[in-house]
Amino acid sequence: LVLVPTFCAKACIRTILASHSRAGSTDFPLPASRKPIYTLPLSVDSLCALPAMTKLVLSTGNVMSAGPSIIRKSGSATRSNLELVNSLRDNFTAARQDYAVHAPRTNANGSARANANANGNGSSSRSATPPQTPVDVWTERDGKALYIPRINWHAAGLRDESNQYEITVKLFLLPGTPVAERERYAREALALVGKELGIQTIDLLVVSFPGMSFEGDCEWEADKINAQQGNLEEELATWKVFEELHRQGIAKRLGVSEFGSEKLGAFIKRTTVPPVVDQINLRNCCNVPPPLKQLAEEEGVELNVHVDCTDILPRGTLRELLSHGPQGAGVLADPAHNGAGLEGEIVPQWVVRYMAFVRDRGVIENKGYFAGAALVET
């Protein structure tokens, strides 16, 4: 069973029910044309065993839309959790403004006018305050999934042929989600990236496991603490999914994040396709631990410094983004707003970040995020 959320407006209810009734596939839904990297088959029996839930797919769009960005040094980059949250909020606001024209208002003399009013020279201007566009107008339900905001897939894709780019993807597996579901999360995330960029192959796929960090008063302490974090058996079981992607030619190279010397050494010994990249966060340390540096040299692992957070999208942050609060999208139900919106417990599952580097110019043309979550009926 799939929970079909309802909003107050009768038109919205009809829209959602109509979309739901058309959903006959048990594949993860991706509306429209572009061929994804792959889809994930789900059996009817497995769906019936799950609690009633709605799949939420959040997206930022291209955060480089103002123009390609010259690659900056790692230390000057914005922490990716802030970039993700701010970019999601901006994209929600932009969608509410863009689709406001489809939600006409009626003035005193009975005529309808759009939220975006034309000025004296015929151009339109946007209000600094997001218009009260009905949620069903700027979001899209497709089968079991609700896209927030709706995505114009016809505008997706890169400017040039895919071989002109280096595609880097980082998948964040979020805390508290079942290990058995990680393959499904990975396939959902990569299918969306493939559809957004119009690609079939990823040059580098980095996996961020939950519960890992690289923090301490010095590099030696950070390396020691890191050895006790995470769950090696679960990480190895999950890694088999990514090894298969590599064998299929979907991911040319694989990487991990926040693996110290002991953790990385034990991991490499038990993998068929070892990681060739290890991203570590040195914001609380000054240097790479010598044991990790030596191991990386011996095993041919490239060490990269990053500023990402493992728990990139906590539950509270996601609920705030979708709430009726001052900076919320107004998607969730709120008694103060006549109970309109989605009801249930929100469970963030994964976040994926994608970047398309133009090989011969050293710039990022396209960068963005997708986030997957479940809204579970309580």
Note the pLDDT tens digit of each residue in 231-270.
999 999 999 999 999 999 999 999 999 998 899 999 999 9
Non-local CB neighbours of 88 within 8 Å, separated by 6+ positions: 58, 59, 60, 321, 369, 371
Among 231, 149, 250, 112, CA closest to 190 = 250
- pLDDT, tens only, 163-176: 999 999 999 999 98
Among 316, 336, 309, 271, CA closest to 80 = 309
Rounded to the nearest 10°, the torsion over CA 364, 190, 305, 175 is: 140
Q: Does the predicted TM-score (pTM) go above 0.85?
A: no
Provide the mean pLDDT of the chain: 78
**CA 292 → CA 222, 259, 297, distances in Å?**
11, 9, 9
**CA 346 → CA 4, 239, 350, distances in Å?**
15, 26, 12
CB-count burial class (<10 Å; 0-12, 13-18, 19+) for 110:
exposed
- Identify the pLDDT of residue 101: 66
The CA-based angle 358-363-369, given to 5 degrees, is: 85
- Identify the pLDDT of residue 330: 92
- pLDDT, tens only, 104-131: 544 433 333 333 333 333 333 344 555 5
Among 278, 273, 353, 344, CA closest to 313 = 353
- Identify the pLDDT of residue 129: 55
The residue-averaged pLDDT of 215-231 equals 73
The Cα–Cα gap between 154 and 151 comes to 9
The residues facing 331 across adjacent strands are: none
Confidence of residue 155 (pLDDT cuts 50, 70, 90): confident
- Identify the pLDDT of residue 279: 94
Confidence of residue 285 (pLDDT cuts 50, 70, 90): low
- Identify the pLDDT of residue 315: 95
